[in-house]
Amino acid sequence: MEKATFAAGCFWGVEATFRALPGVLSTRVGYIGGKTESPTYKEVCTDRTGHAEAVEVTYDPAKISYNNLLKIFWENHDPTQLNRQGPDWGTQYRSAIFYHSPEQQAAAQASKEALEKSHRYSKPIVTQMVPAETFYQAEDYHQQYLEKKGLASCHMKA
């Protein structure tokens, strides 16, 4: 089993997208990339912790590749929007890939470069690529939020 961590706006829709994939064993939403230890949702929403709302994906690489996870990541948000996705704005909604190994870093960088060369977007891709550090799990009510609320999606495709 391996882990992948992605930030692509509000974590509810991002989590639901990844949970639906065959080969994904589990997901959890939380906060990563900031300076505040053990932040709460309320603190992250102040845009002062430096953390992004993110999803940590545990997956079976024999059933789904990291490259396929990257493909889903790019297809399900707008990586040209700086610190926002749709109506949500602030650094906590930034686009970011938090890599767990040099291999993930290389794959993420290659996928970003391929997307840039495709000219799919007229604006530059602003997705950050940074090493995964401490992932702080969000409060229980955020875990599988859409599923708990009986909602199909809150996520907008790019």
Residues identified as active-site: 10
List pLDDT tens digits, range 101-144: 999 999 999 999 999 999 999 999 999 999 999 999 998 888 88
More confident site: 3 or 151? 3
24 pLDDT exceeds 90? yes
In the chain, domain spans: 2-149
- Per-position DSSP letters for the chain, written without gaps between them: -EEEEEEESSHHHHHHHHHTSTTEEEEEEEEESSSSSS--HHHHTTT-S-PEEEEEEEE-TTTS-HHHHHHHHHHTS-TTSTTEETTEESGGG-EEEEESSHHHHHHHHHHHHHHHHHT--SS----EEEE----EEPPGGGTTHHHHHT-S--PPP-
pLDDT, the chain, mean: 92
156 pLDDT exceeds 50? no
Look up the pTM and report it.
Answer: 0.92
Which CB contacts under 8 angstroms, 24+ apart, belong to 108-112?
108/70, 111/67, 111/70, 111/71, 111/74
pLDDT at position 147 is 76
Q: Could you tell me which CATH number the domain at 2-149 has?
A: 3.30.1060.10
